[in-house]
Amino acid sequence: MKRSTVNPWDWSLKLGYNQAEMIEGATRQVICAGQTAVDSEGNPQHPGDMRGQISLALDNLEAVLKGAAMDLSNVTKLGVYATDVDEALKNLDLMGMRFGPHQVAPPMTLLGVTRLAIPSLLFEIEATAAA
Protein backbone atom coordinates (compact mmCIF):
# COMPACT_ATOMS: atom_id res chain seq x y z
CA MET A 1 0.00 0.00 0.00
CA LYS A 2 1.29 3.45 -0.92
CA ARG A 3 0.22 6.56 1.00
CA SER A 4 0.61 10.05 -0.45
CA THR A 5 -0.25 13.06 1.70
CA VAL A 6 -2.34 15.94 0.42
CA ASN A 7 -1.76 19.14 2.41
CA PRO A 8 -2.51 22.37 0.55
CA TRP A 9 -1.89 24.08 3.93
CA ASP A 10 0.40 23.00 6.75
CA TRP A 11 -1.63 24.09 9.81
CA SER A 12 -3.10 20.61 10.37
CA LEU A 13 0.38 19.09 10.54
CA LYS A 14 0.96 21.08 13.73
CA LEU A 15 -2.11 19.33 15.16
CA GLY A 16 -0.87 15.91 14.05
CA TYR A 17 -2.94 15.07 10.99
CA ASN A 18 -2.94 15.40 7.20
CA GLN A 19 -5.75 17.10 5.31
CA ALA A 20 -6.03 14.03 3.09
CA GLU A 21 -4.14 10.94 2.02
CA MET A 22 -4.27 9.14 -1.30
CA ILE A 23 -4.15 5.37 -0.78
CA GLU A 24 -2.97 3.21 -3.66
CA GLY A 25 -2.49 -0.54 -3.89
CA ALA A 26 -4.49 -1.51 -0.79
CA THR A 27 -6.01 -5.00 -0.92
CA ARG A 28 -7.79 -5.09 2.47
CA GLN A 29 -9.80 -2.53 4.38
CA VAL A 30 -10.98 -2.65 7.99
CA ILE A 31 -13.63 -0.31 9.36
CA CYS A 32 -13.45 -0.15 13.14
CA ALA A 33 -16.40 0.72 15.35
CA GLY A 34 -15.85 3.50 17.85
CA GLN A 35 -13.46 2.45 20.60
CA THR A 36 -13.85 3.83 24.10
CA ALA A 37 -12.37 3.42 27.57
CA VAL A 38 -13.98 0.10 28.45
CA ASP A 39 -12.39 -3.09 29.76
CA SER A 40 -12.71 -6.51 28.10
CA GLU A 41 -16.15 -6.93 29.71
CA GLY A 42 -17.40 -3.59 28.34
CA ASN A 43 -17.24 -1.81 31.70
CA PRO A 44 -16.32 1.90 31.55
CA GLN A 45 -12.94 2.79 33.05
CA HIS A 46 -11.27 6.05 34.20
CA PRO A 47 -14.41 8.05 35.09
CA GLY A 48 -13.81 11.79 34.78
CA ASP A 49 -10.27 11.25 33.43
CA MET A 50 -10.02 12.33 29.77
CA ARG A 51 -6.34 11.38 29.49
CA GLY A 52 -6.93 7.92 30.94
CA GLN A 53 -9.90 7.39 28.64
CA ILE A 54 -8.00 8.48 25.52
CA SER A 55 -5.14 6.12 26.40
CA LEU A 56 -7.44 3.13 26.94
CA ALA A 57 -9.48 3.91 23.81
CA LEU A 58 -6.22 3.86 21.82
CA ASP A 59 -5.23 0.56 23.49
CA ASN A 60 -8.59 -0.86 22.43
CA LEU A 61 -8.19 0.45 18.88
CA GLU A 62 -4.78 -1.18 18.66
CA ALA A 63 -6.27 -4.48 19.92
CA VAL A 64 -8.97 -4.40 17.23
CA LEU A 65 -6.39 -3.64 14.53
CA LYS A 66 -4.14 -6.43 15.80
CA GLY A 67 -7.10 -8.81 15.44
CA ALA A 68 -7.15 -7.87 11.76
CA ALA A 69 -3.35 -8.32 11.44
CA MET A 70 -2.85 -4.54 11.27
CA ASP A 71 -1.53 -1.75 13.48
CA LEU A 72 -1.73 2.03 13.70
CA SER A 73 0.45 2.36 10.59
CA ASN A 74 -2.50 1.03 8.59
CA VAL A 75 -4.99 3.66 9.80
CA THR A 76 -6.15 5.89 6.92
CA LYS A 77 -8.90 7.91 8.64
CA LEU A 78 -9.96 8.76 12.19
CA GLY A 79 -13.19 10.04 13.65
CA VAL A 80 -12.92 11.34 17.21
CA TYR A 81 -15.81 12.26 19.49
CA ALA A 82 -15.36 14.04 22.81
CA THR A 83 -17.74 15.41 25.40
CA ASP A 84 -15.23 18.20 26.13
CA VAL A 85 -13.26 19.22 23.05
CA ASP A 86 -10.95 21.56 24.95
CA GLU A 87 -9.99 18.81 27.39
CA ALA A 88 -9.52 16.34 24.53
CA LEU A 89 -7.25 18.79 22.69
CA LYS A 90 -5.09 19.18 25.82
CA ASN A 91 -4.49 15.42 25.73
CA LEU A 92 -4.15 14.72 22.02
CA ASP A 93 -0.40 14.46 22.50
CA LEU A 94 -1.27 10.83 23.28
CA MET A 95 -2.29 10.42 19.64
CA GLY A 96 1.09 11.70 18.51
CA MET A 97 2.84 9.38 20.95
CA ARG A 98 0.98 6.40 19.45
CA PHE A 99 0.93 7.31 15.75
CA GLY A 100 4.31 9.11 15.62
CA PRO A 101 6.48 5.97 15.80
CA HIS A 102 4.54 4.62 12.81
CA GLN A 103 5.26 7.87 10.92
CA VAL A 104 1.62 8.36 9.93
CA ALA A 105 -0.76 11.26 10.54
CA PRO A 106 -4.13 10.03 9.24
CA PRO A 107 -6.82 12.55 8.31
CA MET A 108 -8.96 13.15 11.37
CA THR A 109 -12.20 14.81 12.39
CA LEU A 110 -12.79 15.82 16.02
CA LEU A 111 -16.38 16.48 17.04
CA GLY A 112 -17.79 17.71 20.32
CA VAL A 113 -20.84 15.75 21.49
CA THR A 114 -23.18 16.20 24.43
CA ARG A 115 -22.68 12.58 25.51
CA LEU A 116 -21.59 9.17 24.31
CA ALA A 117 -23.54 5.88 24.46
CA ILE A 118 -22.44 5.28 28.05
CA PRO A 119 -22.79 8.55 30.01
CA SER A 120 -19.50 8.21 31.95
CA LEU A 121 -17.47 7.96 28.72
CA LEU A 122 -15.76 11.14 27.55
CA PHE A 123 -13.92 10.04 24.39
CA GLU A 124 -14.49 7.71 21.43
CA ILE A 125 -12.33 7.04 18.39
CA GLU A 126 -13.26 5.21 15.21
CA ALA A 127 -10.86 4.28 12.43
CA THR A 128 -10.62 3.04 8.89
CA ALA A 129 -7.50 1.05 8.08
CA ALA A 130 -6.09 -0.47 4.90
CA ALA A 131 -3.29 -2.81 3.91
- In order of their start, the domains of the chain are 2-130 (3.30.1330.40)
| pTM for this model (two decimals) | 0.92
CA-to-CA distance for 35 and 58, rounded, in angstroms? 7
How far apart, in Å, do the first and last CA atoms of the chain sit? 6
- 130 neighbors 104 (Cβ within 8 angstroms): no
Digit-coded pLDDT (tens) for 47-59: 999 999 999 999 9
Of the pLDDT bands very low, low, confident and very high (cuts 50, 70, 90), residue 14 is confident
The reported pLDDT for the residue numbered 48 is 97
The reported pLDDT for the residue numbered 114 is 98
CA-to-CA distance for 58 and 91, rounded, in angstroms? 12
Task: Provide the pairing of β-strand 75-82 with 108-112.
Answer: parallel
What are the two backbone dihedrals, phi and then psi, of residue 14, each rounded to the nearest 5 degrees? -65, -25
**Residues facing residue 110 across a β-bridge:** 80
Classified as helix, coil or strand, 62 is helix
**Residues facing residue 128 across a β-bridge:** 31, 77
- On the question of pLDDT at 15 being above 90, the answer is no
State the DSSP code for 109.
E
CA-to-CA distance for 110 and 114, rounded, in angstroms? 13
